[in-house]
Amino acid sequence: MSVRRLRIGMIGIGVGGAEILRAMDGMETIEVVAGADLVPETLRRFNERFPEARTYLSAEELCRDDNVDAVWVSSPNRFHAEHTIMAANHGKHIVVEKPMAISLAEAGAMVEAAEKNGVKLLAGHTRAFTTPIRAMRKIIQSGYYGQLRALNIWSYSDWMLRPRTADELDINQGGGIPYRQGPHQVDTVRLLGGGLVRSIRAQTGDWMKERSIPGYYSAFLEFENGLPATIVHNGYGYFVGAELVPWGSDKHIYTAQQRGDIRRQLRAGTRDETTDKQSIRIGGSREKEYFYDESKNPWVPEDMGFAIASLDRADLRQSQFGVFVHDDDGKHDLDVVPDHEMGMVQRRAELEELYASVVHGTPLWHDGRWGMATLEVCLAIIESAKQRREIMLQHQMPVRDDYDADMAVPLPVTMAGGKH
């Protein structure tokens, strides 16, 4: 039986685009049929990879293409709302990269445009979609270990040292750690904690002269039911989280030595960021090294960091290929990531969710309203830091009960056997 293929158009074929194109490669339900970017060289490289696809120098032209069913919006953050609304008005389904938008007004207009046009809008591409995090949610939901009592996610990354365009270094255009990295942690605590955050108290940090944007935040979140959570991200890369696990090293994207070299270049003003960034975009000299490594590399605390969920009778955290459950019988390692899902192929969850919703009519779990709730938390981090007070939230929504209903998680022997 032939499978209906969803015909996808990429809007913005940059680093994020290169990453998700790798995930789309080889999916029998997805066909990459078009791409739009402002840079002709990027379109040429895209065409080399996808010779059948049409290319456009503007998002609008792509949106007018009748052979596109859905778009993946990975243009710079300041265009997310404009491109999403344009696509919705042309009847396309949409996956929009994190952060969904720069303001709640933009996010509200995106939700409205999707609803008015009867198209699906999915707010995507955060680590909350990864299999270990979803497995953690299933274990929490099973109730076996009692109530969820606390969530903590901490990240130490080298985000601030990676090559950046000017807009990524401008908070007014959605640059900096709270906008760019906040959604990974916020989506994850919301997924694990049920979705409804009541309030935020946070502080941001901006202490690298050469990059004047927040490269740090600490936030305390309280959920409606009283559940406490902390999320922390330090993107300055002196220490990287990968060193915290025995199978990790001092390398995140860069080794400690490379990070030092980059800092010295930034201070001296000699860093060629444009060339560096282009080298990891499609067809670039380092793209394959970044996005096409399918070896069974273990998870290490990278952009989202390490998450620990504490329940009445267990702690859960990520392991090399799944979840560690620490309970009264010791430590169980649940291997939940199949071999065929290694590398960027693991990033297919959004595409699968969109496909199921468009083709089979299943509910979209991470819809525009979900994304707006996550954005509200990220904005509240910035606002709380500015005002130095707790910010109350108003746009939260719960995780749907039927979320991941079909996902089977191998439980620790004690759970499966019902012994307790």
Ligand X SMILES: NC(=O)c1ccc[n+]([C@@H]2O[C@H](COP(=O)([O-])OP(=O)(O)OC[C@H]3O[C@@H](n4cnc5c(N)ncnc54)[C@H](O)[C@@H]3O)[C@@H](O)[C@H]2O)c1
- Binding to ligand X by residue 169, rule CB under 6 A? no
Considering beta carbons, is residue 9 or 195 the nearer one to ligand X?
9
Considering beta carbons, is residue 12 or 235 the nearer one to ligand X?
12
CB of 98 to ligand X, least distance (A): 5
Separation of alpha carbons 44 and 215, rounded Å? 34
Of residues 347-386, those binding ligand X (CB under 6 A): none
* Helical segments of 316-411, H only: 349-360, 368-387
CB atoms within 10 A of CB 27: 18
Of residues 260-299, those binding ligand X (CB under 6 A): 277, 281
Question: Is the bond leading into 99 cis (omega within 30 degrees of zero)?
Answer: yes
Separation of alpha carbons 391 and 406, rounded Å? 36
The interface region with ligand X, picked from 74-82, 86-94, 231-239, 399-407 by CB under 6 A, is 74-82
Of residues 304-343, those binding ligand X (CB under 6 A): none
Backbone phi, psi, residue 201, to 5°: -125, 125
Backbone phi, psi, residue 278, to 5°: -60, -30
- Binding to ligand X by residue 165, rule CB under 6 A? yes
CB of 60 to ligand X, least distance (A): 9
- Binding to ligand X by residue 94, rule CB under 6 A? no
What residues are paired with 34 via a beta bridge?
Answer: 9, 54
Q: Which residues contact 123 (CB under 8 A, 6 or more apart)?
A: 96, 98, 100, 366, 367, 368, 370, 371, 372, 374, 375
CB of 163 to ligand X, least distance (A): 9
316, 409 contact by CB (below 8 A): no
Q: Which residues contact 402 (CB under 8 A, 6 or more apart)?
A: 363
Can you read off the two tokens belonging to residue 201?
A: 């108290």
Among 30, 53, 75, 186, binds ligand X (CB under 6 A): 75
Of residues 1-40, those binding ligand X (CB under 6 A): 11-17, 19, 36-39
Among 22, 45, 134, 180, binds ligand X (CB under 6 A): 180
CB of 300 to ligand X, least distance (A): 15
Using Cβ positions, the residue closest to ligand X within the complex turns out to be 14
- Binding to ligand X by residue 122, rule CB under 6 A? no
How many positions of this chain bind ligand X (CB under 6 A)?
A: 26
Can you read off the two tokens belonging to residue 124?
A: 């995507």
- Binding to ligand X by residue 106, rule CB under 6 A? no
- Binding to ligand X by residue 77, rule CB under 6 A? yes
Tell me the CA distances in angstroms from 129 to 137, 187, 190, 219, one per residue in order.
11, 9, 12, 22
CB of 39 to ligand X, least distance (A): 5
Considering beta carbons, is residue 125 or 252 the nearer one to ligand X?
125
The interface region with ligand X, picked from 2-10, 76-84, 234-242, 369-377 by CB under 6 A, is 76-84
- Binding to ligand X by residue 42, rule CB under 6 A? yes
309, 133 contact by CB (below 8 A): no
CB of 202 to ligand X, least distance (A): 20
CB of 396 to ligand X, least distance (A): 22
DSSP tally for the chain: helices H, then strands E: 14, 15
- Binding to ligand X by residue 79, rule CB under 6 A? yes
Considering beta carbons, is residue 161 or 325 the nearer one to ligand X?
161
The interface region with ligand X, picked from 69-77, 138-146, 220-228, 264-272 by CB under 6 A, is 69-77
- Binding to ligand X by residue 98, rule CB under 6 A? yes
CB of 268 to ligand X, least distance (A): 24
Considering beta carbons, is residue 15 or 415 the nearer one to ligand X?
15
| Token pair 């090399």 in the structure block, residue | 320
The interface region with ligand X, picked from 72-80, 196-204, 242-250, 338-346 by CB under 6 A, is 72-80
CB of 287 to ligand X, least distance (A): 11
Give, as one character, the DSSP assignment of residue 76: -
CB of 182 to ligand X, least distance (A): 11
SS3 per residue for 362-381: CCCCCEHHHHHHHHHHHHHH
155, 181 contact by CB (below 8 A): yes
CB atoms within 10 A of CB 66: 8
Q: Output the CA angle 358-63-67, nearest 5 degrees.
A: 60
**Residue (of 106, 122, 23, 130) closest to 73 by Cα position:** 122
CB of 153 to ligand X, least distance (A): 16
Can you read off the two tokens belonging to residue 141?
A: 């939901």
Interface residues toward ligand X, by CB under 6 A: 11-17, 19, 36-39, 42, 59, 74-77, 79, 97-98, 125, 165, 180, 277, 281
